[in-house]
């Protein structure tokens, strides 16, 4: 008998509405989603279907308007903004399409600083190890402007995984890269997420990339249209 992995995400009837009155938009219209530890899941769907909005809520960057959400053992529906920030720390890593590195910090500092802020011991050594693991051991003291797009995204991957998060989220992580560089970055993301034992949730428009995940969830107009093994 195979045992069901314990859920790291349990979302029920999640809704997101923005604006009020005439301008009110229903962005998510009741999302039920349970994700087990170590799963790899792709979120697909047309532009505007709510993928990034759902990712922002599941990763604690935004609060849902309604429903319940538990992530890595924390009840995200009862936490205020500070509480969410604290709950994210060490639990959740995020990689976005735009790399969002701090331009005045070196690659090493970009990875080490969040670890230092979180009070983790050995931040510099851990950051150096993470950067070496993404093939950037020779670029530690380069600034983002001195790195290619693919290298910058590797730094962002190292930064996201350095705190050893339970869940890694990526929103179109190869969207700003040419095809070959995107493939290499995708390979690295899958490999590093697996090595870290992290649950991996990927938002993408790329069917081939999504097919590398164990499970594919399709959104349409703020609802889950299908949810199946890849």
Ligand X SMILES: Nc1ncnc2c1ncn2[C@@H]1O[C@H](COP(=O)(O)OP(=O)(O)OP(=O)(O)O)[C@@H](O)[C@H]1O
- Say which residues have a Cβ less than 8 Å from residue 165's Cβ, sequence separation at least 6: 90, 91, 92, 93, 196, 198
In the complex with ligand X, the residue whose CB is nearer, 53 or 106, is: 53
Q: Which residues bind ligand X (CB under 6 A)?
A: 18, 25, 27, 45, 47-53
Min. distance of Cβ 27 from ligand X in angstroms? 4
Residue 18: strand, helix, or coil: strand
Among 48-56, 87-95, 112-120, 183-191, the segment contacting Mg ion (CB under 5 A): 48-56
Residue 106 is a binding residue for Mg ion (CB under 5 A): no
Task: Pick one of 49, 52, 106, 199: the residue that binds Mg ion (CB under 5 A).
Answer: 52
CA 69, 74, 80, 86 torsion: positive or negative? negative
Residue 199 is a binding residue for Mg ion (CB under 5 A): no
Min. distance of Cβ 26 from ligand X in angstroms? 9
d(CA 39, CA 45): 19
In the complex with Mg ion, the residue whose CB is nearer, 41 or 108, is: 41
d(CA 128, CA 79): 33
- Say which residues have a Cβ less than 8 Å from residue 191's Cβ, sequence separation at least 6: none
Min. distance of Cβ 51 from ligand X in angstroms? 4
In the complex with Mg ion, the residue whose CB is nearer, 108 or 219, is: 219
d(CA 43, CA 205): 9
In the complex with ligand X, the residue whose CB is nearer, 96 or 115, is: 96
Min. distance of Cβ 222 from ligand X in angstroms? 7
- Beta-bridge partners for 75: 70
Min. distance of Cβ 220 from Mg ion in angstroms? 14
Residue appearing with tokens 């050594």 = 125
Residues of this chain that interact with Mg ion (CB under 5 A) are 51-52
């Amino acid at each position: 008998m195979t045992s069901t992995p314990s859920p790291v995400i349990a979302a029920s009837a999640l809704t997101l509405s923005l604006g009020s009155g005439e301008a009110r938009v229903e962005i998510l219209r009741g999302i039920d989603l349970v994700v087990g530890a170590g799963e790899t899941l792709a979120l697909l769907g047309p532009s505007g279907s709510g993928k990034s909005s759902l990712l922002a809520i599941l990763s604690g960057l935004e609060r849902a308007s309604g429903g319940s959400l538990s992530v890595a053992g924390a009840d995200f529906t009862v936490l205020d903004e500070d509480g969410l920030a604290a709950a994210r720390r060490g639990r959740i890593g995020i990689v976005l399409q735009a790399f969002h590195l701090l331009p005045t910090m070196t690659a090493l500092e970009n990875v080490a600083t969040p670890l230092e802020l979180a009070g983790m011991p050995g931040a510099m050594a851990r950051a150096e190890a993470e950067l070496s693991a993404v093939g950037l051991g020779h670029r530690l003291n380069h600034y983002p402007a001195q790195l290619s797009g693919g290298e910058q995204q590797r730094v962002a991957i190292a930064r996201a995984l350095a705190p050893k998060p339970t869940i890694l989220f990526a929103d179109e992580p190869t969207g700003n890269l040419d095809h070959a560089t995107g493939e290499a970055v995708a390979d690295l993301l899958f490999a590093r997420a697996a090595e870290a034992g992290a649950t991996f949730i990927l938002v993408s428009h790329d069917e081939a990339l999504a097919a590398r995940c164990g499970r594919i969830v399709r959104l349409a107009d703020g609802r889950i249209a299908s949810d199946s093994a890849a």
